[in-house]
Amino acid sequence: MNKSVRRIGEKEAGYSLIEALVVLAIVGMISLISVPNLVAINRSNQLKASLRIFTNDIRLARQRAVTRTRQVKLSFATGGRSYYIYQRGITGGAWTQITPRRPDCPKVDPALPSPNGCLGPTVTFSATTFADIRDRDDLDAMRDIVYTQSGGVRNIGTPPNTITLQSIYTNVPDRDFVVSLSVSGNVTSN
């Protein structure tokens, strides 16, 4: 039989325990630096995604007002994250909620139906210059953006007319985003 005999002075191929521990320490230090940055980037992306969805829904409300020649209202509450979109009949009348609705969004008021949209779970409406319009058909005490049939905003106050979206996390590079609306209905954000 042929037996393999190891000769004295020959080394086996492989890594020593010390080398493996050094590599593990380097990987640990890189993780300590990069993981918190990745978490902050993810949180910032959640805020930016909410901003994109919300501004698209504002533009959709304006487009609907112009194409259907009806007033369209987007209602939201500061401190909340859900919003509702309503339209009026051609000759006025009561506000009716448009579809589609998002049952996965939290309700502002349990008496209200499911909202049309919502911000991400870590984003809220923190401030606005828009007021709650008070007429016989609007008793919800939420802030309102009302588009006229021409696409202009009906309830514009003293400029700038803004809505601030804010992340609940404090370690996000851009924690606040401001959405601005002009009298003509144009939407911009920073």
pLDDT of residue 139: 65
Name, in order, each residue with C-beta under 8 angstroms of 178's C-beta and a sequence gap of 6 or more: 162, 163, 164, 165, 189, 190
What domains appear along the chain, each with residue ranges and CATH number? Answer: 17-189 (3.55.40.10)
Backbone phi and psi for residue 104, each to the nearest 5 degrees, phi listed first: -80, -10
- Residue-wise pLDDT for 131-157, tens only, equals 887 766 666 778 888 999 999 998 766
pLDDT of residue 9: 62
pLDDT score of 170 more than 80: yes
Q: Is the peptide bond before 160 cis (omega within 30 degrees of 0)?
A: yes
Distance, C-alpha 105 to centroid of its chain = 12
- Residue-wise pLDDT for 157-167, tens only, equals 667 789 999 99
When comparing pLDDT for 4 and 104, which is higher?
104
pLDDT of residue 59: 93
- The position carrying tokens 């809220």 is 124
The fraction of the chain above a pLDDT of 90, given in percent, is 25
The span from the CA of 36 to the CA of 86, in Å, is 41
pLDDT score of 65 more than 90: yes
